[in-house]
Structure 1
Amino acid sequence: MNEPDPRQGAQTAGPRREVVVGDHRYLLLGTAHVSRASAEEVRREIESGAYDAVAIELCDARHAALTNAGELAQMDLFQVLRQGKAGMVAANLALGAYQQRLADQFGIEPGAEMRAAIESTAAAGLPLALIDRNIGITLKRVYRRIPWWQRISTMGALFASLLSSDKIEESDIEKLKEGDMLESTFNEFASESAAMHEALIDERDRYMAAKLLAAPGARHTLVVVGAGHLKGLAGYLEAGMDAPRETIERLDHVPPGARWVKWLPWAIVVLVFAGFALGFSRSTGLGQQMVVEWVVINGALSALGALIALGHPLTVLTAFVAAPITSLNPTIGAGMVTAAAELWLRKPRVGDFSTLKSDVTRVSGWWKNRVSRTLLVFVLSTAGSAAGTYIAGFRIFGQLFGG
């Protein structure tokens, strides 16, 4: 069933599908996350009084971000760096910035339909279920599922989206709720990266279906999800699950990385030290030359990354000094050292946290805001150090075995 509810007539814009599982009825309402019409439609549906529960495509973390305006102001940036979460925080900001940029064109907040669902559900005194998987787990599972080269291209495409100045018409956003266009879009996406599609879309469809089936207390539930999840979620609900709670636990598990990835940094350290030893065994001059090249190449590229991020001059110097050392110690990265230096030298102000979400919607804002600039220092100095490690390593072995 994919027809408008006759109670709403021509006002209903979003695709919808009703699924009956035993005594429970689910009305799946597909929305566009930056659509004004979607937010209004969600509010109308809840206020109709036809439902005894509401479920929405949010996890605890995204719900907190949407309802707690001061969440970013409470972020301990040093703790983020120490826990190795700086890259993920930067990726989340980039994702949010892209959605915010679209939303700014139409004068509506990103996730306005979810906020409408939260507010209307509370006003109606109905139970609210958060059925999506934690965004951090989803991103980690995507990271684990795709090859290293695709990780680089994906991050590049994500940040490149911030540079785009293309305008999108609101009518085009509304068309994104038409099932055929969405299905063809995701089919094309799957052909390019089936693993990414599974982790981002299919797994979450299964997860949300499992969450609904694991706690079916309500008789008639309104389920507010992005329109791209409509078909998959309906399919999993209709197919049923023997053990939904086990499905939830399985999809919440982050698989460990490949062993060779874990040991690769240590292998590089051993090879570099072996190269130094072999170089000194041949001649003191050759050994010294290789050490100098290691320091200069590794340090200079990491410092260049910090410089591109407009880090403090002492942060740039820190990158040059730290990168050649941290590259030989896989337990700590150059980015953590340089970002910590930047954080100490230019402590973010309260205003930087309060304007962070809006600042990162503009390319210049990433460099203007002290919080996002610290994250840029981390990402770019880390990338520079990584590049320097491989370039310097190849030069060392080129001099030893290049003839």
Structure 2
Amino acid sequence: MKDNAHEIIIIGTAHVSNKSVEEVKYVIERERPQIVAVELCAKRYHALRGDVPEELSIRDILKGGKLYFVLVQWLLAFAQKKIGADVGVKPGAEMLSAIDKAEEIGARIVLVDRDIQITMQRFWCKMTFFEKMRMFFALIGTLLGIGSDGSSKIDLEKVTEEDTVTQLIAELRQLAPNAAKVLVDERDAYIARNLLSVCQDGRVVAVLGAGHRAGVQKFLSAPESIPSPEELTALPKKRVDLAKIIGIMVIAAVIGIFAFLILTGSPSHVILIAFGYWFIINGVLSGAGAAIAGGHPLSILTAFSVAWMTSLNPFLAAGWFAGLVEAWVRNPTSEDIIAITHIETFSDLMKNRLFRIILVAAMANIGSMLGTFIGIWVIFTQTGIQF
């Protein structure tokens, strides 16, 4: 589409469509603009170019509250790459094609998207606990083919059509409305602001994902509605964490149960039975989570051994310990970091040592969380505790 006032020509693409690659080259050759703007930030550009990524600290990921954030980020990237592999096109191929064509005609290249780290941090902070859970399990289900009968394949050539794009975005808004706002609406505004800035220097061909075309056009036609740069890049203030509050309440309940048993002079065997249930249920489920993720026996044993204790401390998690042991055993290198950006099958993803560490930690935590709730219920029902 063309905005005559600002000489901005927008190409809406499907990020894994071969047709989009050809269309991008054709339009840039036809228009021969002074500027080619692409929906990339510096980090994504270097990733597409195959540059070596910065080293990751396993300890920081496990202990810094980034565990599920990093896991979901990798799963999102892998899902896109999986679709691309199915149609024989690498994700971002149309962006690289635009850059190559711009260099060929001597056009200036401008990266107009928001920094991926800012986007992902806002994406994670803005989502509610239940949105995160829906997103996580939806991604896992998609990757494992759960809920798909194999007959409802996406027609990627129709992904650039307005009705199809609208439907896909509507589904994202239903699954996780706050995620849609960050991934779509905010980036539309950010891209539009950058396009309005660079178009002062000449005609612009903007290569954007089809999901951003309508939103960017809306902001271009009403620049006064674009939020300030600070609003679009600032990290949101931490709000009340519902999951953490529930966790603290559960911990208080468990400690209260054992305190009640001791203070009321319950027989020692009742207290031991209650503790035994707590230890076994937490340990088995946390260890099972690590095992499902393909963890090393030492990681599984670690999850089993510490789950009873970490479930009673809001500042510890069984997955942290299991993940650190897994990292010690697997010893991931920079090659694993590079490989994770090129993997195209789920089996290869599971063979990646870095991904395996993060998955083991996440699944051990999920198992421990289930063990906490089930453990409380079993203690009440099997020990005959009466308040």
Same fold, TM-score > 0.5, yes or no: yes
TM (norm. structure 1) is: 0.84
Which runs of structure 2 are paired with 1:43-82 in the superposition (5 Å)? 43-48=25-30, 50-71=32-53, 74-82=55-63
Q: How many Å separate the matches in 2 of 1:385 and 1:224? A: 45
Q: Does 2:372 match 1:394?
A: no
2:359 counterpart residue number: 376
Q: Does 2:304 match 1:317?
A: no
Residue among 156, 174, 186 paired with 1:203: 186
What's the Cα RMSD here?
Answer: 2.8
Q: In percent, how many aligned pairs have the same letter?
A: 33
In the TM superposition, what is the alpha-carbon distance from 1:272 to its structure 2 partner?
Answer: 2.2
Q: How many Å separate the matches in 2 of 1:260 and 1:375? A: 23
Q: How many Å separate the matches in 2 of 1:184 and 1:55? A: 26
Check conservation: 1:279, 1:400, Cα contact below 8 A. no
Letter in 2 for 1:266: I
Q: Does 2:134 match 1:179?
A: no
In the TM superposition, what is the alpha-carbon distance from 1:111 to its structure 2 partner?
Answer: 0.8
Which runs of structure 2 are paired with 1:233-244 in the superposition (5 Å)? 233-241=216-224
1:11 counterpart residue number: none
Q: How many Å separate the matches in 2 of 1:311 and 1:385? A: 15
> What number of residue pairs does the alignment pair up?
380
Check conservation: 2:251, 2:312, Cα contact below 8 A. yes
For structure 1, list consecutive stretches of 5 or more residues without a partner in the other structure. Answer: 1-16
1:115 counterpart residue number: 96
Q: How many Å separate the matches in 1 of 2:93 and 2:316? A: 40
In the TM superposition, what is the alpha-carbon distance from 1:33 to its structure 2 partner?
Answer: 0.5
Query: Does the C-alpha gap of structure 1 residues 211 and 185 become closer, same or farther in structure 2, counting only changes over 3 Å?
Result: same
In the TM superposition, what is the alpha-carbon distance from 1:190 to its structure 2 partner?
Answer: 3.7
Q: How many Å separate the matches in 1 of 2:37 and 2:153? A: 29
2:203 counterpart residue number: 220
Which runs of structure 2 are paired with 1:3-402 in the superposition (5 Å)? 17-21=1-5, 24-48=6-30, 50-71=32-53, 74-164=55-145, 166=150, 172-190=155-173, 193-214=176-197, 216-241=199-224, 247-255=228-236, 256-282=238-264, 283=266, 284-348=268-332, 352-359=336-343, 361-396=344-379
For structure 2, list consecutive stretches of 5 or more residues without a partner in the other structure. Answer: none
Q: How many Å separate the matches in 1 of 2:58 and 2:98? A: 31
In the TM superposition, what is the alpha-carbon distance from 1:226 to its structure 2 partner?
Answer: 0.7
Q: How many Å separate the matches in 2 of 1:381 and 1:177? A: 40
TM (norm. structure 2) is: 0.87
SS at match of 2:185: helix
1:8 counterpart residue number: none
Letter in 1 for 2:313: N
In the TM superposition, what is the alpha-carbon distance from 1:97 to its structure 2 partner?
Answer: 2.0
Q: How many Å separate the matches in 1 of 2:287 and 2:158? A: 46
Check conservation: 2:129, 2:242, Cα contact below 8 A. no
